[in-house]
Amino acid sequence: MTDRPTQNRPLSPATLAVAGGRPTRDQGAPVNPPVVLSSTYASTGDPAGSLMYARYDTETWHPLEATLAELEGASLSGLVFSSGMGAIDAALRLAEPGTAIVAPRHAYLASLTAAREQAAREQSVVREVDIADTEAVVAALAPAEGPAGSLLWIESPTNPLLEVADIPALAAAAHRVGAVCVVDNTFATPLLQRPLAQGADVVVHSVTKHLAGHSDLVMGAAVTSDGDLRARLHARRTVGGAIPGPFETWLALRGLRTLALRVERAQHNALELARRLADHPSVAEVVHPGLSSHPQHARAAELMDGFGSILTLRPSGGVGHADAVTRAVRLWLPATSLGGVESSMERRRRLGAEAVSVPEDLLRLSVGIEDVEDLWADLDHALRAWPT
């Protein structure tokens, strides 16, 4: 689809986010792909190879799907879904009935819920593991008793505790027992982590977060280089119907263009704030993969191209203090979700379904692209305003 300068080195993800999915440079061609509003296409006889009905396939998805595949280093076009959970639901169905799904105990909540519901339907089990503990994950894939794993679900860094998995080692262990390895790459983005190159079979995204980046749409994606797995994901999308609309798809690609600028700025801000918070008198603990105090700091430095823009902190005054911070901030947005240009924070345990091993007073911060001194001033003030 895109004309590329002849060169013998691959384009970096930062460039692909800008250059991917552009219309062919015919005389008078637009720089951006069009939004096509059509539910059906003229078609008779065998429709193979052509567009037919917009739930099966529609051209407005193609530029985004091609760009996401390029970013993740996949040989096949990606698949966009109506939400991250739409993509995750399709990917979870790659597990075989009557087997085990091995998943991080601190994965995204709805992913765990979907895995548990599917396992209950299919006489399977979900084995929840510490995804940073490679030996424990390997043991859970092929236990002495109980069904072997047919699907290894990885999130790294995890939500919200930011545990970092050894993806190459875990993907290899999954393949040794014939399991499919799926990585939710939402937190890292393909700019900082490319799981397919590290051995994973499928990457899923909540495009809602960093990829689209402006908190103005909900969308998901799945990317793989395996033709059989892609066909199964595509079949599930078609039958489940979790397809995004053309306007949202166009807007997501629009947001994706600035991915590199946003991610670089946001993670720079996050590391600076994490360092300052580590010395703050009102902070008991701060966790960020970029701090040398993080248990998997060395692993993250080796496997990732950056540490991301999510951090967690525990105010020294406990739950009351944490809630007070979310009420006292004026610039930071107290809200769920993450990965937008605006900085936001949430006390995760306010949600009843959050894992009890997540500390009650833990605040998850999604650092945006504002001026770091403004973010610091607001946060410092909110932390000190306790007890009042």
Ligand X SMILES: *Cc1c(COP(=O)(O)O)cnc(C)c1O
H or E stretch at 297: helix 297-303
- For ligand X, the closer of residues 111 and 326 by Cβ is 111
The verdict on 206 binding ligand X (CB under 6 A) reads yes
345 lines the binding site for ligand X (CB under 6 A): no
Among 60, 67, 83, 269, binds ligand X (CB under 6 A): 83
Cα separation, 139 vs 25, whole angstroms = 53
From the candidates 57, 89, 184, 323, give the one annotated as an active-site residue. Answer: 184
- Would you put residue 335 in left (φ > 0), alpha (ψ -120 to 50) or beta? beta
Cβ 250 to ligand X shortest distance, Å: 17
Instruction: Clarify whether 108 is annotated catalytic.
Output: yes
Our CB check for ligand X shows the closer of 155 and 280 to be 155
Report how far residue 13's alpha carbon sits from residue 202's, in angstroms, rounded to the nearest whole number: 18
Across 28-162, the runs of DSSP E, i.e. the strands, are: 79-81, 100-104, 125-129, 149-155
Complex with ligand X: residue 259 or 372, whichever CB lies closer:
259
Alpha carbons 151 and 175: distance in angstroms, whole number? 10
How far apart CA 74 and CA 202 sit, in angstroms, is 9
Q: Identify which of residues 74 and 222 has a Cβ nearer to ligand X in the complex.
A: 222
Q: Is the CB of residue 1 less than 8 Å from the CB of residue 22?
A: yes
Catalytic residue among 57, 89, 93, 108: 108
Of positions 131, 218, 260, 325, contacts ligand X by CB under 6 A: 218
Binding mask 11-50 for ligand X (x = CB under 6 A): ----------------------------------------
- The answer to whether 78 contacts ligand X (rule: CB under 6 A) is no
Which part of the chain contacts ligand X (CB under 6 A), choosing from 78-86, 90-98, 310-318, 324-332? Answer: 78-86
Instruction: Report the distance separating Cα 385 and Cα 388, nearest Å.
Output: 6
Nearest distance from C-beta of residue 263 to ligand X, angstroms: 15
Helix (H, G, I), strand (E, B) or coil at 13: helix
Q: Note if 184 is an active site residue.
A: yes
| 3-class secondary structure, 224 | strand
312 interacts with ligand X by CB under 6 A: no
Cα 323 from chain centroid (whole Å): 26
Closer of 73 and 244 to ligand X (Cβ): 244
Q: Which residue is nearest to ligand X (CB)?
A: 84
Rounded CA-CA distance 89/93 in Å is 7
Binder to ligand X among 67, 159, 224, 344 (CB under 6 A)?
159
SS3 133: coil
209 flagged as catalytic: yes
Q: How many residues bind ligand X (CB under 6 A)?
A: 17
Query: Closest separation between CB of residue 118 and ligand X, Å?
Result: 15
Cα separations in angstroms, 373 against 28, 201, 267: 45, 41, 14
Give residues 166-205 in contact with ligand X (rule: CB under 6 A): 184, 186-187
Does residue 85 touch ligand X according to CB under 6 A?
yes
Is 157 one of the binding residues for ligand X (CB under 6 A)?
Answer: no
Smaller CB separation from ligand X, 20 or 340: 340
Options 22, 93, 194, 209, the catalytic residue: 209
Q: Retrieve residue 258's tokens.
A: 């600035």
CB atoms under 10 Å from CB of 344, counted, come to: 21
Alpha carbon distance 25, 2 (integer Å): 8
The reply on whether position 220 binds ligand X by CB under 6 A is yes
The answer to whether 279 is a known catalytic residue is no
**How far apart are CB 189 and ligand X at their closest, in Å?**
11
Please give the backbone phi and psi of residue 17, each rounded to the nearest 5 degrees, phi first: -60, -30
Query: Could you give the 3-state DSSP secondary structure of residue 315?
Result: strand
**Residue with tokens 């908190």, as numbered in its chain:** 215
Q: Give the residue numbers marked as catalytic.
A: 55, 108, 184, 209
Binding site for ligand X (CB under 6 A): 83-85, 88, 108, 110-111, 155, 159, 184, 186-187, 206, 208-209, 218, 220
